[in-house]
Amino acid sequence: MYTIFLQALTACAFLPCVFAAPTQDSYQKNLAAPNEHPDDVYDLEPTANFAFAQLPQSQCLTESGSIGDILILGFPFDTATSYRTGTRFGPNAIRQGSRAASLAGHYNYRQFINPFAQNISIVDCGDLPISPFDNTLAFAQMEEWYKRILWREVNSKGKIAEISKTGRAHSQIISLGGDHSISLPILRALNTVYGKVSAIHTDAHIDTWSPKVFAGAEAGSKQAEFADGTPYYWAGMEGLLTTKNVHAGIRSSLDSEKDLELDAEMGFTIIPASDMLKRDGVWGVIDKIRAVVPHDEPVYVSLDVDSLDPAFAPGTAGPASGGWTPREVIQIIIDGLEGLNIVGVDIVEVLPSYDNAEITGIAAAEFTIEVSRPTKPVLELN
């Protein structure tokens, strides 16, 4: 071995050695920094936007002055739920689900519009700081704070055509829940501006259950009567609704004929999840909704994600098999709501701890995107 090493050293004395140092030209040249290329222009200002679909952000509850046409508002509340808890984290899950959709900007390829190009402003107002300890306090907070935001002056080059008792434009608020009980304080607040509204309630459950049935006749607490299964019972009893309302996507059992009679008295038409869809297709559902709900009066839309089949919405508080697909709900939103005077929306019951791969959050985000556009013509203001 020693002899072979000496022979190698001797060979290097007469031949170009493979261990010779490389010349300067053989070094790889350093890449130039980005700003050294005259043809490259970069915006290097940092941004930290955690709003829904990277919308402009505002503290709508505490700031003063004018406000946007369409507002995204989180309701992190779930202490009136009847089954799974955790939907207080739903608003964040929906915002997370919107991130992929926001990569392509705010152009809506399904409706071929960019809402921002239609003389309206859309703003994410963040979440309301709702009490998780006292439901009576929480309901008072939600109603009062929603009302404060609703009554603020709208700042826009145009306005969404609306019908209100005040004679002026008000923001359309898209509420991200939270359990379904949040509909009641919202409807109470809307009543101060619009009076009675018609409801398009998309859900697996009717949510007009009598509190004596839903909470139990033995329930000793008044708070127990206000839950995620009773908001539309109380909305009907308190005179917040017209007699032209829809339950769509229903597949929960009704406790008795008395429940059906009560829904009929409150003006609810029930559209089951499968019967009409199987017979008439999604357009049969759309036509039925539009035949019931008035086109020239205020309409409130409530979208519970458990209207979807659990295959498409595993992360929800009240899953029920046999529901719709996201594609069907999106078509109902686009074509069923077109031209209606939508004065408020809620998207509720997203439960991220049971979600898989953000399936439910993404679906809820897509629903939010589809309703974040004027359903009535946008009027130019001089």
What ranges do the domains of the chain cover?
52-371
- Give the alpha-carbon dihedral of 264, 190, 174, 376, to 10 degrees: 80
Burial class (CB in 10 A: 0-12, 13-18, 19+), 130: buried
Average pLDDT score over residue span 17-21: 49
Provide the pLDDT for residue 377.
55
Average pLDDT score over residue span 204-215: 85
Q: Tokens for 1?
A: 């071995």
> Which comes out higher in pLDDT, residue 113 or 315?
315
Q: Is 180 annotated for ligand binding? A: yes
Q: How far apart are CA 167 and CA 154, in angstroms?
A: 13
Chain-centroid distance of CA 205 in Å reads 19
HSE-CB for 349 with a 13 A CA cutoff: 30
Q: Is 43 annotated for ligand binding? A: no
Q: Is 335 annotated for ligand binding? A: no
CATH T-level assignment (fold) for domain 52-371: Arginase; Chain A (3.40.800)
The dihedrals phi and psi of 18, each to the nearest 5 degrees, come to: -65, -15
Provide the pLDDT for residue 378.
54
> Which comes out higher in pLDDT, residue 352 or 224?
352
Q: Is 205 annotated for ligand binding? A: yes
Q: How far apart are CA 314 and CA 305, in angstroms?
A: 9
The dihedrals phi and psi of 369, each to the nearest 5 degrees, come to: -60, -40
Provide the pLDDT for residue 175.
97
> Which comes out higher in pLDDT, residue 107 or 194?
194
Question: Band of the pLDDT at 217, cuts 50, 70, 90?
Answer: low
Q: How far apart are CA 55 and CA 160, in angstroms?
A: 19
Q: Tokens for 69?
A: 């046409």
Provide the pLDDT for residue 53.
80
316 within 8 A of 94, measured Cβ to Cβ: no
Q: Is 247 annotated for ligand binding? A: no
> Which comes out higher in pLDDT, residue 173 or 106?
173
Q: How far apart are CA 269 and CA 146, in angstroms?
A: 28
Provide the pLDDT for residue 382.
41
Check whether 9 has a pLDDT greater than 50: no
Q: How far apart are CA 160 and CA 171, in angstroms?
A: 9
pLDDT digits (tens, 9 = 90+) for 146-179: 999 999 988 765 555 457 888 888 999 999 999 9
Check whether 123 has a pLDDT greater than 70: yes
pTM: 0.84
Q: How far apart are CA 145 and CA 372, in angstroms?
A: 21
The dihedrals phi and psi of 356, each to the nearest 5 degrees, come to: -115, 125
Check whether 75 has a pLDDT greater than 70: yes
Q: Is 304 annotated for ligand binding? A: yes
Which candidate, 371, 364, 349, 277, places its Cα nearest to that of 312? 364
Provide the pLDDT for residue 34.
55
Chain-centroid distance of CA 28 in Å reads 52
pLDDT digits (tens, 9 = 90+) for 24-53: 555 555 555 555 555 667 778 776 678 888
Check whether 16 has a pLDDT greater than 60: no
> Which comes out higher in pLDDT, residue 67 or 260?
67
Q: What is the mean pLDDT of the chain?
A: 84
